[in-house]
Structure 1
Amino acid sequence: MNLKLQLTRAFFLSLASVIGFGLVAILVGEQKIAQFDSAVTSFIQGLESPTMTIIMKFFTTIGSIPVVIILSILVLLFLYKVLHHRTELILFLAVIIGAAILNQALKFTFERARPTAHRLIQESGYSFPSGHSMEAFALYGILAFLLWRHTSTRIGRSFLILISIIMIVIIGTSRIYLGVHYPSDVLGGYLAGGFWLAAAIWIYQHYMESRK
């Protein structure tokens, strides 16, 4: 795939994500998404069992700030020590730190209270958009992008994409299952994370093209 096509795709993915987030934010702000939230929450929480709760708590822990920091440090060491790619290191840092800052800015903008009906764990702070979902999308999305560039086989790339999707989906779902986020929070987190990820990749690819 040539660089111009990659730039075009990244731009339109970023644009589509920010438009999608805007639509969800409007529905949340006008309280017109309650039926969607109720239906999805009822389905996911209807799967509750002792085993499922253990699994969901495990994945929500993986998406927590301490674990994300540990994983990020390991990735940074890999990029710097093994691949010797400093520009990719900067891209990774920009995506992860930028997503965290953007998430907090959005939370304090919308100030949506968390659900209280059926909580299996305790959380504080505002609800929209989901920080776990946004960071999961940013972290596993940028990992997929960077590792894809160093994976030559179709099987390897397919496995990479599959694992990334599974991690993003399950971490987001765990937040709904455990009762600390509405489904629209998770959807908003995915879209906001997608916007930031695609925008960062677009800037990175544009920078690499200008260097050539």
Structure 2
Amino acid sequence: MTDKSQLSIPFIIGVISLLAFSFMAFFVSANKVVQFDSTIITFVQGFENSSLTAVMKFFTFIGDTNSVIVLSILVIIFLYAVLKHRVELILFIVAIIGSAVLNQLLKYSFQRARPELHRLIEIDSYSFPSGHAMNAFTVYTIITFLLWRHIPSRAGRILLIIISALMIFTIGISRIYLGVHYPSDIIAGYFASACWLGMAICFFQKYQENRSRRLTYKSTTS
């Protein structure tokens, strides 16, 4: 992959995600997703049983802010102590904190009330976009991005993607199943996080490219 493609791909993903989030936000604000949301909620909650409820509560716990903080600390220790990465450490911290701040800004901008259809747990705060969806997408995507080049085998990389995708999807579904988010909240959360990560990774790779050029220049002129 060329340097240009490394920079352009995350930028393009960020722009497309921004447009997708904007469309979703418009439809939500205009109440154009009522049928879409209710149809998916009815379908997902149609599988309700005690065992599945326990599983969904577990995954929603994993996507909670406190769990994300614990996981982030473990990742930070691994990046610093094991992989000896410091620049990547900054990217990880900025990605996680930036996503959380962005989520709160968006929630208070739209102030969408949570569903009142059939709740299995109680929770306050605004609904759009989903904080759990943004947490999951940000954490597992940035972990995948940072660990990708350290996994030598193709099978290992595929497994990493599958696990990350399953965690992101299941945490999002758990919020719909438990009745505390509309599907549009979850989808918008994914798009918002993808936009933020796309831009953050783009700046990170640009910084890495400039840093590499400076080091190369110093080595050739010394």
Please give the alpha-carbon distance, in whole angstroms, between the structure 2 residues aligned to 1:22 and 1:83.
Answer: 38
Deviations 1:10-31 (A, max 9, x none): 0100000000000000000000
| Alignment-mate amino acid for residue 205 of structure 2 | Q
Match of residue 57 from structure 2 = 57
Partner-residue secondary structure (3-state), 1:149: helix
CA RMSD of aligned residues (A): 0.6
Q: How does 1:93-132 map to 2 (within 5 A)?
A: 93-132=93-132
Q: Return 18-27 or 145-154, whichever deviates more.
A: 145-154
Deviations 1:100-159 (A, max 9, x none): 000000000000000011000011100000000011000000000001021111000000
Match of residue 199 from structure 1 = 199
Query: 1:210: Cα distance to partner?
Result: 0.9
Partner-residue secondary structure (3-state), 1:97: helix
Please give the alpha-carbon distance, in whole angstroms, between the structure 1 residues aligned to 2:93 and 2:106.
Answer: 20
Deviations 1:24-67 (A, max 9, x none): 00000000110110111111001101111000000000000111
Please give the alpha-carbon distance, in whole angstroms, between the structure 2 residues aligned to 1:77 and 1:151.
Answer: 18
**Unmatched runs of 5 consecutive residues or more in structure 2:** 213-222
| Alignment-mate amino acid for residue 183 of structure 2 | P
Please give the alpha-carbon distance, in whole angstroms, between the structure 2 residues aligned to 1:117 and 1:13.
Answer: 34
Match of residue 74 from structure 1 = 74
Partner-residue secondary structure (3-state), 2:116: coil
Query: TM-score normalised to the size of structure 2?
Result: 0.94
Asked whether 1:151 is paired with 2:136, we answer no
| Alignment-mate amino acid for residue 170 of structure 2 | I
Please give the alpha-carbon distance, in whole angstroms, between the structure 1 residues aligned to 2:186 and 2:74.
Answer: 26
Match of residue 190 from structure 1 = 190
| Alignment-mate amino acid for residue 162 of structure 1 | I
Match of residue 166 from structure 1 = 166
Please give the alpha-carbon distance, in whole angstroms, between the structure 2 residues aligned to 1:174 and 1:153.
Answer: 32
Partner-residue secondary structure (3-state), 2:150: coil
Please give the alpha-carbon distance, in whole angstroms, between the structure 2 residues aligned to 1:4 and 1:209.
Answer: 10
| Alignment-mate amino acid for residue 43 of structure 2 | F
Please give the alpha-carbon distance, in whole angstroms, between the structure 2 residues aligned to 1:187 and 1:27.
Answer: 12
Partner-residue secondary structure (3-state), 1:152: coil
| Alignment-mate amino acid for residue 145 of structure 1 | F
Please give the alpha-carbon distance, in whole angstroms, between the structure 1 residues aligned to 2:149 and 2:106.
Answer: 31
Please give the alpha-carbon distance, in whole angstroms, between the structure 1 residues aligned to 2:4 and 2:84.
Answer: 25
**Unmatched runs of 5 consecutive residues or more in structure 1:** none
Please give the alpha-carbon distance, in whole angstroms, between the structure 2 residues aligned to 1:138 and 1:3.
Answer: 24
Query: TM-score normalised to the size of structure 1?
Result: 0.99
Query: 1:6: Cα distance to partner?
Result: 1.4
Query: 1:2: Cα distance to partner?
Result: 2.4
Match of residue 211 from structure 2 = 211
Q: Percent identity?
A: 54
Match of residue 86 from structure 1 = 86
Match of residue 175 from structure 1 = 175
* Higher Cα Rg, which structure: 2
